[in-house]
Structure 1
Amino acid sequence: MSATGEISSETEGGSRPGTGVGRRAWVALGVLWFIYVLNFLDRQLLSILAKPIQDTLNITDGQLGLLGGLYFAFFYCFIAIPVGWLADRTNRVAVVSIACGIWSAATIACGLSRNFGQLAASRMTVGFGEAGGVPPSYAIITDYFPPGRRGMALGLYNLGPPVGAALGIAFGASIAAAFSWRDAFVAIGIVGVLTAVVAPILMKEPKRGGLDMAAGAPAPEKAGFWSTVRMFFSRPVLVLAALGSGVTQIITYGLGNFAVLFLMREKGMTLSDVALWYALVVAICMSGGIFASGWLIDRYTRRSKKAYALLPAISLTLAVPLYIAFVWAPSWPLALALLCGPTFLNYFYLSSSVALVQEEVKPNQRVMSGALLLLVMNFIGMGAGPTYVGAASDFFRNTNPDHSLQMALYTLTPVYLVAIGLFLVLARILGRDTARAGGQA
């Protein structure tokens, strides 16, 4: 262990490039994964319990969209930058643990809210805390797993959102059905606070860049804040990965924040139905898509870096007709069956973009670069997606009061085409870079 609290990648449980992955790496991945599960579970409770919250607090679809979209995204995205800068210079494990404690306490506060203003303040605090969870985790995982194993490791880590969403649906809806939506927020928040206390005991800080340097090489210098920002936004590959992911998230967050309300209000599902059937769809299909994408990335990027962009482009193309059919479906069983396709295919972009950015930047820029990736894609997707769908639903309510959310979700279809186009442009640039690198070899 170094004087800064970092453990060498060559110590017990660590690994060197070209060797197996040690026990310590898998423990760290498991802890970070569970924290990510809580991160997404807390984040998704609002959309899962939208109908009982609306019934209690008398808020509109537009206000729900702001709570899950712009209000949350503003704090989540922009706080991630100073948190990333801090984590690049301090103990990243401590940053993740403190962040988990903050967002979990704020989740409890959501359950105690008595009006829209209190709920909005609590949700923004959840966003403030969750900003410190993911970027440091990306860098910790990258420093525990060697090149060639990172796509799978990050793919496993990115199973956190579907598992968190599924658990939120199952437990959140079940608790709300048996007791109240407030109890669901409080119970899950308490679990997060306890996890924040235990995490630093189970997980240690890895050596920064230890798996990217030759044995005995000095540790990289700390990256400058503005130099990392300039580097990120001056490289078309990184910018296009962030933009393509952000546009894709307009769909995933726009649909995700209103899917339960849509299925309950316009398709006839009950909270009990949601707790079982919708939870299964999210758990199996979203997890399957993210896991498959991580495996495919490791397999095909060995041949060409174009795979980082072509895989999301192909998956989104296949998702379009299934998404349209889901929105059209006249009953909730058929709608859920059709939703399996987009739920599996919509998330290929995530592991692709995260792995690409982490591979393309220097080890001492990984946390900050991960934060910048999240800033761009989440401010676009998380900020615009739910906000737009909620506002569109309020707009269509004047002419289609019984199917306003259906009309709003239909209007997300062209967004698929924009995302596909961005990933195809990225594939072209990556192919050119691969050809240039091959010519120089």
Structure 2
Amino acid sequence: MLTHAEPTAGELTTTETSVPAYAWVVFALTVGLLLSDYMSRQVLNAVFPLLKTSWNLSDTQLGSLSSVVALMVGVLTFPLSVLADRWGRVKSIVLMAALWSIATLGCALSTNYGEMLLARAFVGIGEAAYGSVGIAVVLSIFPVRLRSTITGAFMAGGAFGSVLGMALGGAVAAQHGWRAAFGAMAAMGIVLVVIYRIVVTEKRIATLQPASVSRDANGLGMRMSLRALLKGLFSTRSVVCAYVGSGVHLLVPAAVWSWLPSFLNRYYGMATGKAAATAALFVLVTGVGMVVCGNLADRLSKDNGARKWSVAIAYCLICFALLTVGLRMPAGPAQLALIGAAMFFCAGAAGPSGAMVANLTPPSIHASAFATLTLANNLLGLAPAAVLTGIAADHIGLLGALQLVPFAPLVAAAVFLIGKRNYAVDLDRVNALREEAGGHAQR
């Protein structure tokens, strides 16, 4: 079997071994803001039981407070990411983080469901393009050989932020009420925005990029027409499969993260604080799994990039099997153990998916490409997960609703299989187009 090297046109070389210290500083701060992003998003889940009691909300209403954030992210991520490519990625990151932090403070001040829903919508507006722009900044300063690892680690920041949001939010809410929980998340976000604004600049980022990447990003990306942009984003069947498969498989963590505190509260009799802290452990397992699974995908596909597809498929099938069995077991330690094992793999395909998107799109539109990936992640998985599970829970109970969730990674595995079958031809096509574009640029 012929192997296909990862694309290197206009990118850092796969043989580069050293990574500048400032690159890791940028990575740490960018992930730090991602932690704040998900802390602001997921603190809501920790206080679901308190809001349900305080405002007499249905599960559908609770789910909508969670899903509206992902919905706004899904709707706005693409146009805002395109603007960020043109206006400046670092400036966009600072503006977005400030907005979601202020909106989180608005959640703390809400007096009814309508006000909370509006504030949560603005949290989503602030977060809309952060994931895509943040990962584009990070990938531009790291070697191609680390793509799955860096992508998986970056996206795992969402899981770790969710852990902190649920655990700290639950602890603060138990002592000082749910308003204080939102206020604490807002304060952390504002502090991180100030630090990021001081340390990270467009000029210093540019010094870490090869001249070809900087020229590509600052030249071609600024002049590209919408038609050419869309052509670059959807040029192959395999990149579309990466978008779709990634989005569908993330329905599992989105649903479980949103409803696990309530599940533990209702079926295990845990108090709000304990349920949130316990659920946070499962989210932590997801984050660790994303990092480990992303790194494992890089290692297994070192000599054959197409193997990332097989690894992604394996992660989806393992998650399906473990979660299906776990959710049909009686309440107890064995059930929680299987659910935990499933959570380790439930977002494991995030790293390989992101690597495939980066491989199959030009560097000049990576923010837009990851915006498209974020769009798919939100509209196909993150946005509908909580509210659909809530609607089902109102009719068949929360346990019955959660038992439907494991079928999502089964669908994702089928999509990834289609992508794998087309990847070799599509990658050759993309590399040929890049070489042709490079030739025109030199002339």
Confirm or deny a common fold (TM above 0.5).
yes
Q: 1:414 aligns with which of 407, 414, 420?
A: 407
Distance 1:214 1:264 in 2: 51
**Aligned amino acid, residue 429 of structure 1:** N
**Aligned amino acid, residue 245 of structure 2:** G
Distance 1:93 1:160 in 2: 18
* Mapping 1:11-160, distance limit 5 Å: 18-69=16-67, 71-160=68-157
The runs of 5 or more residues in structure 1 that have no matched partner are: 1-8, 397-403
Asked whether 1:227 is paired with 2:194, we answer: no
**Structure-1 residue corresponding to 2:242:** 241
Kept after mapping to 2: 8 A contact 1:209/1:364: no
Distance 1:215 1:340 in 2: 42
Distance 1:217 1:412 in 2: 42
Distance 1:246 1:420 in 2: 12
TM-score by length of 2: 0.88
Kept after mapping to 2: 8 A contact 1:136/1:367: yes
**Aligned amino acid, residue 361 of structure 1:** T
Q: Please, what is the CA RMSD of the aligned residues? A: 2.7
Residue 146 of structure 1: CA displacement? 2.0
Q: Secondary structure at the match of 2:19?
A: coil
Kept after mapping to 1: 8 A contact 2:232/2:362: no
**Aligned amino acid, residue 225 of structure 2:** G
The runs of 5 or more residues in structure 2 that have no matched partner are: 1-9, 432-443
Distance 2:214 2:232 in 1: 27
Give the % identical residues. 27
Distance 2:372 2:213 in 1: 28
Which deviates more from structure 2 when the two are superposed, residues 350-359 or residues 319-328? 319-328
Distance 2:378 2:213 in 1: 35
Distance 2:194 2:355 in 1: 29
**Structure-2 residue corresponding to 1:207:** 206
Distance 1:250 1:280 in 2: 19
Distance 1:207 1:273 in 2: 46
Deviations 1:208-237 (A, max 9, x none): 993383999996422333421233234211
Name the count of aligned residue pairs: 419
**Structure-1 residue corresponding to 2:419:** 426
Deviations 1:129-150 (A, max 9, x none): 0013111111111111122123
Q: Secondary structure at the match of 2:140?
A: helix
**Aligned amino acid, residue 268 of structure 2:** K
Distance 2:171 2:213 in 1: 52
Kept after mapping to 1: 8 A contact 2:248/2:380: yes
Asked whether 1:180 is paired with 2:177, we answer: yes
Asked whether 1:385 is paired with 2:398, we answer: no
Distance 1:169 1:335 in 2: 21
Deviations 1:132-187 (A, max 9, x none): 31111111111111221232222222221121111112211111111111110011
* Mapping 1:290-329, distance limit 5 Å: 290-329=290-329
Distance 1:313 1:66 in 2: 30
Kept after mapping to 2: 8 A contact 1:252/1:346: yes
Residue 297 of structure 1: CA displacement? 2.6
Residue 19 of structure 1: CA displacement? 4.1
Distance 1:199 1:183, change over 3 A: same
Distance 2:43 2:207 in 1: 35
Distance 2:72 2:329 in 1: 36
**Structure-1 residue corresponding to 2:434:** none
Kept after mapping to 2: 8 A contact 1:152/1:295: yes
Kept after mapping to 2: 8 A contact 1:269/1:332: no
TM-score by length of 1: 0.88
**Structure-1 residue corresponding to 2:441:** none
Residue 195 of structure 1: CA displacement? 1.4
Which deviates more from structure 2 when the two are superposed, residues 414-423 or residues 122-131? 414-423
**Structure-2 residue corresponding to 1:6:** none
Kept after mapping to 2: 8 A contact 1:15/1:145: no
**Aligned amino acid, residue 96 of structure 1:** I
Distance 1:217 1:180, change over 3 A: closer
Q: Secondary structure at the match of 1:20?
A: coil
Which deviates more from structure 2 when the two are superposed, residues 26-35 or residues 379-388? 379-388
Deviations 1:223-257 (A, max 9, x none): 33342123323421111111111111222212221
Residue 73 of structure 1: CA displacement? 2.8
Distance 1:215 1:415 in 2: 39
Kept after mapping to 2: 8 A contact 1:111/1:185: yes
Kept after mapping to 2: 8 A contact 1:267/1:330: no
Distance 1:140 1:215, change over 3 A: closer
Distance 1:99 1:208, change over 3 A: farther
